[in-house]
Structure 1
């Protein structure tokens, strides 16, 4: 029974991390540049609309669920240290929780909040900073989500 639960968590986390890596990759490679091409006011307005909508979408269950399952898997890996896949599971869980969730909460969300509070006179300066800094931290989320997905897949293969 325990092995079935671990297997389900590994598959859920591998798929969830992969899906979120793809979303973050899209923002890093073309969405943010496309928003910038529309101008500061339009880009900021579109990003603010995205930030409101994403909280009401199916993104949130995957975002939170994958974070919780990754944290649980990291703990399980510590408790089952030495078993096949435990190292990959531990690193995948820690990398995802710190590199995706932690970065989101410490960097991306505060930047989103600052953008949403920007007045019409501030938008251009806030947008320029937002675009550069938010995208840089989004690259971190992209890489850590993809790496965590690969590590969970390695743990599945090892099991």
Structure 2
């Protein structure tokens, strides 16, 4: 159980860091260049980020927390399940419902950078916050083991 709990913690930490880094450095960096260059760079990022490492972290975080919650006892189970729920709603659902469609619109050329950047970053920051909350919940769950 401890190995699963630590894996869950690491996965959540990696995901929170990814979303945080985008909101606090990648997007401001792209906003500092011409919109056409920012769009081209973001299109490239959006294509390259779709790789097994992202899927492991992105899909693995809520699944690991769910499995840990189902295997744990008492308060630890509740905290792991809460982490899974927050991560699923705040990261997975937001990504599928908002960020990916915006990425697709940017890629198709139907959403200009000025409409994309602020809105995408706001939703990404929500994903970062949800991921940090999930990370903290996993930490509390580990403390309750």
Equivalence for 1:68? 63
1:76-87 aligned within 5 A:
76=70, 80=73, 83-87=74-78
* Contact 1:73-1:93 within 8 A present in 2 as well: no
Deviation at 1:141, TM superposition (A): 0.7
Distance 1:47 1:33, change over 3 A: same
Q: 1:81-120, aligned counterparts within 5 Å?
A: 83-118=74-109
- Give the Å deviation of 1:57: 5.3
The root-mean-square deviation of aligned C-alpha atoms, in Å, is 1.8
How far does residue 58 in structure 1 lie from its aligned partner after superposition?
1.9
Q: Given the alignment, which residue of 45, 52, 60 partners 1:50?
A: 45
What is the CA–CA distance in structure 2 between the aligned matches of 1:115 and 1:46, rounded to whole Å? 11
Whether the 8 Å contact between 1:54 and 1:60 is mirrored in structure 2 is no
- After TM superposition, the score normalised by the length of structure 2 is 0.90
Q: Is the 8 A contact 1:21 1:143 kept in 2?
A: yes
1:111: Cα distance to partner?
A: 0.4
Which runs of 5 or more residues in structure 1 are unaligned?
A: none
The match for 1:154 is 140
1:33 aligns with 2:28: yes
TM, length-normalised to structure 1: 0.83
Larger radius of gyration: 1
- Give, in whole Å, the separation in 2 of the partners of 1:158 and 1:108: 34
Q: Distance in 2 between matches of 1:104 and 1:11?
A: 25
Equivalent residue number for residue 23 of structure 1? 18
For the 8 Å contact 1:14–1:149, the answer to whether it is kept is yes
> What is the count of residue pairs matched by the alignment?
145
